Structure 1
Amino acid sequence: MSGSSSNAEQLLRHLEWTVLRRLDGLLQGDYRTLLRGAGMDLADLREYQHHDDVRHIDWNVTARLSQPHVRVFTEDREMSAWFLLDLSPSMDFGSGEQRKRQVSAGFVAVLARMLTRHGNRVGAMLYGSGVDTVIPARGGRQHVLQLLHTLQTRPEAAEADVSGPTRLHELLESAANLVRRRSTIFVLSDFISETGWERPLGLLARRHEVVAVRLLDPLELQLPDLGLIPIRDAETGEQLLVDTHDAGFRKRFARIAAQREADLRQSLVRAGVDALELSTDGDLVDALMRFTELRKRRSRLADGGSAGKLPTHLQQAA
């Protein structure tokens, strides 16, 4: 076994014994909570019955036949998941022990292994200065090792001479063309990109179950008082010397960062995707459990709210 392959094996084994074992105990086998809406195929249409979920009503057929009809689904035993990986220069940043790129790789390894050991397939698309690598969707632990090996041996953006602004829309548009079958798609990025990615993300979410996995570092939100320090823009290479001892400067930086956070979250809401935030100083299991609880709460609200009631004009027909 080569050194790089051995590193991939060691990392995956470490994650299996730490992160995956903890998740197994907390999720109690309900791993599909993380993948709501995936793995379902339309099997048939039939008349509505009182115990049916009204969210499955096919309104076009109902209007045509003047009788409520519901879509009947069957669980697709083999589900595909795709990881769209932003590996642009800003993903190499990290103010602590981990960089955003390392956190991203850990997330991919954990989710890919969780999926493949239940018989599902995973694939990946990698973006540097463009979409330069596509790993087809396959199953099995060996495939996860290959994916992890590719991420580990890929040079950092600076070493690969990747420069210029990130064009995240290129990655999203490429995925829309490549991934035809309904899948779960994880978009892993810090979303430091040229504008224009919002629309293709929304279009992707119309066909697939899309989760935006946003990578961030605490230093991108608030600057500590470190005196005079050089700051380099990873995307453009521009360098500035800033005085972090200036309280006014730190406040302005925090205010701009908070506005960018609010704008980004609003963009993800408008695109209709769920979002998971992973920080370089955070715990992966805690982040995944918070995300799982969010999905459970949304599911309970949908079941107990107005979405669970038959419209008045259809109650007599039912």
Structure 2
Amino acid sequence: METKEILKRVKRIELKSKRKASNLFMGEYHSSFKGRGMIFSEVRPYQYGDDVRNIDWNKTARYNEPYVKVFEEERELTMYLLVDISASESFGTKKQIKMETIAEIAASLAFSATTYNDKVGLILYTDHIEKFIPPKKGKQHVLRIVREIITYEPKSKLTNLDQTLEQFMILARRKSNVFILSDFIDSSDYNRSLRVASKKHDITGLRIYDEKETNFPNIGLVNVQDQETGELRLIDTSSPETRKMYASYYYELDKRFHAIFKKNNSGSLSIQSDQDYVHPLLNYFKSHRF
């Protein structure tokens, strides 16, 4: 991809995602996620209703009247975007492929975070972490993240979230808000690694899927290739049983995805790649408080 085309794509995603972030996400993002703890603010005279556990006994003894320590939430947060760049993300049958929708959602989340001066980090993964960008603040950092998502050429076609989460736990030492953006077409058993990661981090899985993955069209005999393994298979799409089998596979995939995340006290949301993602995300933020 030429530099000029890259800049045009980054600018287009920036304009689209910033508008959506400013219109919808920012207030909900701010209220949905807690700060990392409480920090000392000031000492003031005791007022009715104050928590007696916060009494400053040294100052109280010095002035012979009760004083309390006041704390406030430390608002600065760290967000990680774990983006699946395996081969299956290049699939799409309508206005855009899954990877383009993932890039837009990731950018919207990142711009929401940077508005509140939060740090954003990026991990691009396949069957292992291929690219790690440490968390930083600012618009230019977010634009770099967008550029990496749309231009990075993966070395592997496969997916392994289990391995990725194990590596992520080594890299992310402090509590963070983590969004995993993927189609979750993943044969690995990521239940255990998600359980470990969710004990330290607030995790949300965003499953991006294409309509034709759940509603296979009747187009007769067709060669179908698995984008990750390269396996070719001739299937008869005119067969109701065949279409039902594929629909059942993706239904079970989605069911497994939500079940694993729920079991590990993590949020989950499925979004169709050609539909507006704003309202599903907004409703998700309204119903979840981390």
State the Cα distance separating 1:73 from its structure 2 match: 7.4
CA root-mean-square deviation: 2.5
Decide whether aligned partners of structure 1 residues 132 and 10 sit closer, same or farther in structure 2, where only a CA change above 3 A counts. same
State the Cα deviation string for residues 123-159 of structure 1 (Å, max 9, x = none): 011113421211110011111111111112213x5xx
Distance, in Å, in 2 between the alignment partners of 1:254 and 1:151 is 29
Q: How many residues align?
A: 262
Distance, in Å, in 1 between the alignment partners of 2:129 and 2:274 is 28
Residue in structure 1 matching 2:197, options 204, 212, 228: 204
Distance, in Å, in 1 between the alignment partners of 2:136 and 2:253 is 37
Residue in structure 2 matching 1:120, options 109, 115, 118: 118
Cα pair 1:215 1:277 within 8 Å, conserved: yes
Alignment of 1:47-196 (within 5 A): 74-155=72-153, 157=154, 160=155, 162-163=156-157, 165-196=158-189
Cα pair 2:181 2:207 within 8 Å, conserved: yes
- Give the stretch that moved more between structures: 257-266 or 103-112: 257-266
Structure 2 residue aligned with 1:249: 242
State the Cα distance separating 1:214 from its structure 2 match: 1.1
Cα pair 1:185 1:211 within 8 Å, conserved: yes
The TM-score normalised by the length of structure 1 is 0.75
Percent identity for Structure 1 against Structure 2: 28
Cα pair 1:103 1:278 within 8 Å, conserved: no
Decide whether aligned partners of structure 1 residues 6 and 196 sit closer, same or farther in structure 2, where only a CA change above 3 A counts. same
Distance, in Å, in 1 between the alignment partners of 2:117 and 2:248 is 46
Distance, in Å, in 2 between the alignment partners of 1:109 and 1:39 is 21
- Give the stretch that moved more between structures: 110-119 or 90-99: 90-99
Tell me whether 1:11 sits opposite 2:13 in the alignment.
yes
Structure 1 residue aligned with 2:224: 231
Decide whether aligned partners of structure 1 residues 289 and 97 sit closer, same or farther in structure 2, where only a CA change above 3 A counts. same
The TM-score normalised by the length of structure 2 is 0.82
Cα pair 1:222 1:257 within 8 Å, conserved: no
State the Cα deviation string for residues 8-46 of structure 1 (Å, max 9, x = none): 1332023223x224316xx6x34324x43x3131569xx
Q: List structure 1 runs of 4+ shifted beyond 6 angstroms.
A: none
Structure 2 residue aligned with 1:261: 254
Structure 1 residue aligned with 2:66: none
Distance, in Å, in 2 between the alignment partners of 1:20 and 1:204 is 27
Distance, in Å, in 1 between the alignment partners of 2:13 and 2:160 is 30
SS of 2:217's equivalent? coil
Distance, in Å, in 1 between the alignment partners of 2:71 and 2:238 is 60
Cα pair 2:98 2:210 within 8 Å, conserved: yes
Alignment of 1:239-318 (within 5 A): 239-295=232-288
SS of 2:228's equivalent? coil
Cα pair 2:28 2:286 within 8 Å, conserved: no
Query: For residue 92 of structure 1, what is the amino acid of its counterpart?
Result: S
SS of 1:226's equivalent? coil
Tell me whether 1:40 sits opposite 2:41 in the alignment.
no
Query: For residue 41 of structure 1, what is the amino acid of its counterpart?
Result: G
Query: For residue 22 of structure 1, what is the amino acid of its counterpart?
Result: N
Q: Unaligned regions of 5+ residues in structure 1, if any?
A: 45-49, 53-71, 300-318
SS of 2:263's equivalent? helix
State the Cα deviation string for residues 196-235 of structure 1 (Å, max 9, x = none): 2111111111011111111111122121212222211112
Structure 2 residue aligned with 1:69: none
Distance, in Å, in 1 between the alignment partners of 2:71 and 2:249 is 46
Decide whether aligned partners of structure 1 residues 142 and 262 sit closer, same or farther in structure 2, where only a CA change above 3 A counts. same
Cα pair 1:41 1:73 within 8 Å, conserved: no
Query: For residue 128 of structure 1, what is the amino acid of its counterpart?
Result: T
Q: Unaligned regions of 5+ residues in structure 2, if any?
A: 41-48, 52-69
